[in-house]
Amino acid sequence: MTVPFGGMSDVKAEIRAVPVGDLTIRVADHGPPDRPAVLMIHGWPDTARLWRNQIPALVDQGYRVLAPDLRGMGRSGRPDNVADYRATASVADMVAVLDEADVGTAHLVAHDWGAAVGWALAITNPERVTSLTALSVGHPNAFAGAGLRQMRNSWYMLLFQFEGIAEQWLSEDDWAAFRRLMGGHPETDEWIDNLSPEGALTSSLNWYRANAHPRRLVGASRPVPPCCVPTLGVWSSGDFALTEGQMQDSGEYVEATWRYERIEGASHWIPLDAADELSELLVEWFRQNL
């Protein structure tokens, strides 16, 4: 099915449902199939529409863009078991998306939980990744070592562990707490629309329950291997959730070209708040890493 994607009348997308076991992953495929590929992975509480400002710019510059909805979000399948939301499961989803599109290697652009998946994909399947652009979230080792300030910023991750309570807290009184947490971002009403269908909010919160359980704070932890593909880390000065240090320090865990960019004035949602700046940065980065 070929339709305009996310309101972008000038960019047509072929929308497909890619089977992965018992699930399907919805992916929007933009641009000619014979062009260099870009795989763009969103985070919470987004869908692939997060990239609606970057996709036309990249297609115009000669790239093919694959934009999937993560499992449990958007129109992709929603597993019932919390364990099925581990980032490693989504790595398999992304490999399936590339395989179904007959893409051998792709530039990877990923934000928030998508960045966690992006780091894991680049580390475990470097032969499939031309370059990695990680937005907001740094290498897992850098995030784990970011200290008390990062733990304070991540307070909501603990709240999200309480099944039923977190859902009620976020959604009651016309989503008042969710609106406060999002800081009044202009996208808030669209996020609420995405999370309002039955089961959608719980599915999205299962990402936190599967990957950020407080048990990870105690006992010995196994370090994550370094990333061996060219990596661009991008952080924004208005990010309420992630500290700059956990992105800056990620270079210590990249055994390839590493570049760090700080974007001033944007909130956590860099693709929305610094749309043109990010698009230009991506095109420049891709051209340096053919």
Choose between 216 and 247: higher pLDDT: 247
Q: What percentage of the chain carries pLDDT values higher than 90?
A: 91
pLDDT band at residue 34 under the 50/70/90 scheme: very high
Q: How many CB atoms lie within 10 A of CB 46?
A: 26
User: Domain limits of the chain?
Assistant: 2-150+220-288
* Interval 140-171: pLDDT, tens: 999 999 999 999 999 999 999 999 999 999 99
pLDDT band at residue 7 under the 50/70/90 scheme: very low
Mean pLDDT for 83-90 is: 97
User: What is the reported pLDDT for 10?
Assistant: 53
User: What is the reported pLDDT for 290?
Assistant: 86
pLDDT tops 60 at residue 5: no
- Read off the tokens for 216: 């990870």
Whole-angstrom distance, CA of residue 215 vs CA of residue 124: 24
Select from 3.40.50.300, 3.30.465.10, 3.40.50.620, 3.40.50.1820 the CATH code of 2-150+220-288: 3.40.50.1820
Give all strands of the β-sheet with 64-68 in edge-to-edge order. 2-5, 8-20, 23-30, 64-68, 37-41, 106-111, 129-135, 231-238, 258-267
Say whether 35 sits in a helix, a strand or coil: coil
136 CA to centre of own chain: 9
Whole-angstrom distance, CA of residue 232 vs CA of residue 246: 14
Mean pLDDT for 16-30 is: 97
* Interval 102-143: pLDDT, tens: 999 999 999 999 999 999 999 999 999 999 999 999 999 999
User: What is the reported pLDDT for 11?
Assistant: 66
Q: What percentage of the chain carries pLDDT values higher than 70?
A: 96
Non-local (6+) Cβ contacts of 173 within 8 A are: none
Closest CA to 21 of 73, 114, 67, 90: 90
Mean pLDDT for 214-219 is: 78
